[in-house]
Amino acid sequence: MTNLFSSVLHSLDGRRAAKRDRAVLERQLASYANHADRLDLQATLDRYPDEQTAELRSILSTRAA
């Protein structure tokens, strides 16, 4: 039972960290406030595979909506 409890706690810690990291990333991306900045960022993201930029693109598309 202790291993299960430890495993659950570890999983929760990971989720909290991921949520915190995403919030930081969202704040950083919010600094791209004007259209020209967003186009420049989009051009930069286009140089990388979608697998590497999916989270960034998801945040940006949510903000654009």
pLDDT of residue 6: 86
Pairwise CA distance, residues 44 & 28, whole Å: 15
Domain ranges of the chain: 2-64
Residue 5: phi and psi, rounded to 5, are -60, -45
Judged by DSSP in three states, 46 sits in coil
Q: What is the pLDDT of residues 22-65, one digit of tens each?
A: 999 999 998 888 889 988 999 999 999 999 999 999 998 887 66
